[in-house]
Chain A
Amino acid sequence: MSQRSDAPASSPRFGEVVAAGHHVTKVYGEGETAVTALAGVSAQFVSGEFTAIMGPSGSGKSTFMHCLAGLDTPTSGSAWIGDTELGSLDEARLTKLRRERIGFVFQSFNLLPTLTALENITLPCDLAGITPDPAWLQELVSTLGLADRLGHRPDQLSGGQQQRVACARALASRPAIVFADEPTGNLDSRAGAQVLSFLQMSAEILGQTVVMVTHDPVAAAYAGRALFLADGRLVHEMAKPSAAGVLEQMKAFDAGQQAVR
């Protein structure tokens, strides 16, 4: 795939902060039953960067991503997309922001069963009332190998194809940032590798900012940076993570936790 030549004016330059969380705290419930999912996590994500958020289940990694993406609201602290503080937006503006500046890939149930693959890909553009750039769409579709699958409905696609359709959808409107929540969680390793390479390439070659939540060291190895969360806190950061390195790190946390217990 060639370098994007027609980058829109709004698209952030490399190195610019695209999303950030400041002391993000999330507490579920009240009083004695209160559970702290996030205990003040801060992080910045610059444009063109592929970041993996790692951590065992219950570490708060998904909650952190939900707060950053405007799907959930922090109990305290702030989440930013560009220079917009999400807490300052009402429901309608937040919805508008999601559909115009954020792309999503979820673990499962990414696609509407009633729409064809192509319709699913253009869904955010349709919702925003904009026409997707046909050349860009063409490029995405061919890169992801979906050209002959566009008229199919999700139940006629394999799991890997479904996730690739979700990837195409996430990138179709050229969002400022793509959030991927365990995108390979339900896939076999080959299909997972295809999805991960695509995300990696879209960051490195297209300059697309990607934040991926995962608990899989192999998946994290595709990212340019890995953040480690445990018990609702940011405990470590690793540049150019390798699968072995990440695994090592995870084991260290587990051991640490064992020790605490």
Chain B
Amino acid sequence: MLRTTLRTLRSHRLRFALPALAVVLGVAFVTGSLIYGDSVSAALAKARANSQPDVSVAVRPAESTQYSTSDSPDAAPRLDQALLKRLRALPGAAAARGTVEGPSFLAGSDGGLVGDLYRSAGVNYVPGPGGKDPRYPLTAGRGPRASGEIAIDKAAAERSGTRVGGTVRIVVNGTARDARVVGLFTAEDSRLASGGTLTAFDNTTALRQFAPDQGGYTTITLTADEGTSQAQLAEHAQDVLPRGLEAVTADQLRGEATAASDAKLTTVLLGFAGVALFVSTFLVANTFTMLSAARAREHALLRAVGATRRYVMRQVLTEAGVVGAVASVVGYAAGIGVAALLSTLFGDTGGVVDVPLRILQPTPVLAAFGVGVAVTMLAAYVPARRAASVSPVAALRTSRPPTPASLRRRGVVGVTVTGLGVLLLWAAAGDENMLYLAVPVLLVGLIVLTPLIALGVTGLLRTPLRRLAGIRGKLAVENARRNPRRTAATAATLMVGLAMVTAVTVVVASLSRVDEDEADQAMASDLRITAVDFGEIGADVAARVARLPDAAAVTAVVNTDIRISREDMLPAAAVTPSTVERLAPITLREGSLKRLDRGIALEEETAAARHLKLGSRVTGSVAGTERKTALPVVAIYEGKDFASALVSRTQLPRTADGDHARVASVLTDADPGRTAALQRDIRRTLDNPALLVQDRAEVRKAASSTSAEFLNIMYALLSITVLIGILGVVNTMGMAVSERVREIGLLRALGLDRRRLASVLRIESVTISLLGAALGLVAGAAIGVAAVLTQPSVPLVVPWDRAALCFAGTAAIGVLASLWPGRQAMAVPMLRAVGTDTE
């Protein structure tokens, strides 16, 4: 049988090329996702496993207290020098080392920060017995010894264009300074593996920078003596630890790390790959349906000479299996490329990540073949059954195959499922989780219903197209109508991709509108200074800005709390009373901010909730101070997005830094017409790449930049599905041409020139594509709207421009997809059609 199969495949190889290509794309996507996901977690696991080669036991604040507010009285005891000394003296402990880390950034030669900021850190370099820190093996130079010296990881050195002996600008705690690079190191650290930078400081500097008020380490790690197990050492350590600290073994640590690995990304990628594979089944099914119709006589002949139904069915399924297997091999190879692409796609958002691809792992190989072969055979199952059901008499009949079964049952099922999908979507507007059920149901319903929709829509298009394009329009529409199932399956491939594109676009557009509006409303001043994520604004920034000539008004906004009782904390912003009304997005309702120096201003909702009025007193202590004061309410304002309460900056304790009084932003107005000049001045004065100095337009743009980036990644992931949709249109048009050879010949004989022949196909192709686009846009918009409605505070934004672009793009796809079939049609020899029928 295999020989017959191979012969069939060879004689129809062009027919199988496109569906196979679709499967190749789907398999490549699956393979790529698996290889990439596997490689990333392998790289991370390796980094984690080797990050602290000499650690046997780690001492850290116990889980229960780790996340409670650090300034509550029963905060975890400090991991200080005394404790370190005590642990070092434990029986079985060979060495003990304190770890202290915090955000620290490196600037590149262009002045901007390098690497993934979320994963960039400053660490303490603790020379061990050999004078070196085993965590950070040096490749050049030496470890840092004084406060002006640092060692950085090798990749960071390359990215910031510096080397040993060079000077690099670093940003720690919001202030930028120059530091001399005395050493380069490599480290098996998950932060490096995922695109961050590491800057090593000498222990004293690190402690001062990252734990100024706690005077302690983040963790203390112990190395066990030979002959002492991790568990034994942990037990010993636990004995001497005060309450609130725990000792965990290195094995436990690793277990926690792997559990939290990025399986999520792989799942998401596989989801997209699954959709791509799903739509590729439509191509396979279309092709096998067409072939089983074209080969009905051949199959009938087989049956007439004694082949069983099973034999015919098995033959068709074997063909599908071979196509699937070939597509899987090619798809796997292409998948390696996809993995590399994914690596750059996701690496780009987080710096350069060197993920060594693990090319031949059993899971992706098995998955590629299983999925490729199974999907192809599954898609060919229905056509195979149809092929097997051809009666032997059909071989003797010369007439065309009987008209396909009516669409009525399909219509009923389609309406029911689509209706159910719409209902679910309706319900989903109130419950997010329902969405995951509603979307597939709706799409499947639409797919079932598409043949009827196709008939309806093309029926409506008859008259306008006839008027527009004359007989060509008429022929094109009628051609699109003659096989509604195939037209529908083709349109559905496009629909699925475009629905997802539309849904994602609607959701992201709505969400970024929220961000933009919030940014707009939150910006009442000309300029705003903020720190990049995980960066800090130094305490002196406001003062330095205020000294600039063009600065008309300046206030720092410092987040603090007023402790009213042990459980009741009133979050407040400490500001400069004289300028805050002008600079902050607040509207005064009652009272005045003039006397804020000795009082408190409340947001109206906060005041109402706490039953406070103008003149009432708020009794409590500002965070970081123990002194209770009674602050009179001097003003009520509106502006809950800015702060619930305002106090004067003078009420902050002088020493309060770090967590107690983080400068959230500095707001400033420029003298009229001097905004740009002031912005330049501030940048020059602060000279800190970690601080963003933005005007209103920039704030608005920055607010939606992450969503724009996200949207582009989504588009990139969905592009494969859309591409398969395009292949589907090409495939269908190609099949149409090969089926209609005689008609095409007749039309040419009767005087349809080549150019217009191509345009008939083009109109048909565009009609099918636009049908898919219209369905996709409507379904996608519905899904997107429902998704947006699950979020009560998000306004609905329908990006009409993008929808129009999508529609126009699909029309272009239709035109492109008809090029090759059009060429095939033009090459059809006229005499094939009109020659005497001697078959």
Contact with A along B429-471 (1 / 0, CB 8 A): 0000000000000000000000000000000000000000011
Pair count A-B, CB < 8 A? 81
Which of chain B's residues have a CB closer than 8 A to the CB of A182?
836
Q: Does A205 contact B (CB under 8 A)?
A: no
> Does the CB pair B752–A95 fall under 8 Å?
yes
A: interface residue count bin: 20 to 34
Q: Name A92's contact: one of B481, B742, B753 (CB within 8 Å).
A: B753
Q: Does B522 contact A (CB under 8 A)?
A: no
Q: In the complex the two chains form, what is the Cα distance from A113 to B474 in whole Å?
A: 13
Which of chain B's residues have a CB closer than 8 A to the CB of A72?
831
Within 98-156 of A, Cβ neighbours of B (below 8 Å) are at 98-100, 104, 106-110, 112-115, 119, 123-124, 126-129, 155
- Between B400, B755, B831, B834, the greatest number of chain A beta carbons within 10 A of the residue's beta carbon is seen for B834
> Does the CB pair A127–B837 fall under 8 Å?
no
> Does the CB pair B831–A126 fall under 8 Å?
no
> Does the CB pair B743–A113 fall under 8 Å?
yes
CB closest chain-B residue, reference A125: B471
> Does the CB pair B834–A106 fall under 8 Å?
yes
Nearest 10 A/B pairs, CB to CB: A99-B751, A114-B478, A126-B471, A95-B753, A108-B837, A127-B751, A98-B751, A106-B834, A109-B742, A124-B750
Within 178-212 of A, Cβ neighbours of B (below 8 Å) are at 181-182, 185-186
Contact with B along A63-89 (1 / 0, CB 8 A): 000100001100000000000000000
> Does the CB pair B746–A112 fall under 8 Å?
yes
Q: In the complex the two chains form, what is the Cα distance from A147 to B831 in whole Å?
A: 31
A232 shortest CB reach to chain B, Å: 16
Which of chain A's residues have a CB closer than 8 A to the CB of B836?
62, 107, 181-182, 185
B558 shortest CB reach to chain A, Å: 76
> Does the CB pair B837–A107 fall under 8 Å?
yes
B: interface residue count bin: 20 to 34
Contacts A95-B748, A109-B746, A127-B471 given: A185-B837 contact, CB under 8 Å? yes
Q: Name A104's contact: one of B478, B831, B834 (CB within 8 Å).
A: B834
Which of chain B's residues have a CB closer than 8 A to the CB of A95?
748, 751-754
A184 shortest CB reach to chain B, Å: 12
> Does the CB pair A123–B471 fall under 8 Å?
yes
> Does the CB pair A100–B475 fall under 8 Å?
no
- Which residues of B approach A to under 8 Å, CB–CB? 400, 470-471, 474-475, 478-479, 481-482, 742-743, 746-756, 830-831, 833-837
6 contacting pairs across A/B (C-beta < 8 A):
A71-B831, A92-B753, A92-B755, A104-B834, A112-B475, A124-B750
Q: Does A251 contact B (CB under 8 A)?
A: no
Q: In the complex the two chains form, what is the Cα distance from A175 to B203 in whole Å?
A: 102
Q: Does A248 contact B (CB under 8 A)?
A: no
Q: Does A254 contact B (CB under 8 A)?
A: no
> Does the CB pair A129–B837 fall under 8 Å?
no
Which of chain A's residues have a CB closer than 8 A to the CB of B749?
71, 98, 104, 106
Which of chain B's residues have a CB closer than 8 A to the CB of A155?
400
Q: In the complex the two chains form, what is the Cα distance from A66 to B835 in whole Å?
A: 9
> Does the CB pair B831–A106 fall under 8 Å?
no
> Does the CB pair B751–A112 fall under 8 Å?
no
Which of chain B's residues have a CB closer than 8 A to the CB of A92?
753, 755
Q: In the complex the two chains form, what is the Cα distance from A19 to B392 in whole Å?
A: 48
A151 shortest CB reach to chain B, Å: 14
Contacts A112-B475, A114-B475, A129-B470 given: A100-B751 contact, CB under 8 Å? yes
A72 shortest CB reach to chain B, Å: 6
Contacts A119-B474, A128-B751 given: A71-B830 contact, CB under 8 Å? yes
Which of chain A's residues have a CB closer than 8 A to the CB of B748?
95
Q: Name B750's contact: one of A91, A98, A108, A114 (CB within 8 Å).
A: A98
Which of chain B's residues have a CB closer than 8 A to the CB of A240?
none
- Between A92, A98, A99, A127, the greatest number of chain B beta carbons within 10 A of the residue's beta carbon is seen for A127
CB closest chain-B residue, reference A111: B746
Q: Does A96 contact B (CB under 8 A)?
A: yes
Which of chain A's residues have a CB closer than 8 A to the CB of B478?
114-115
B521 shortest CB reach to chain A, Å: 59
Which of chain B's residues have a CB closer than 8 A to the CB of A129?
470
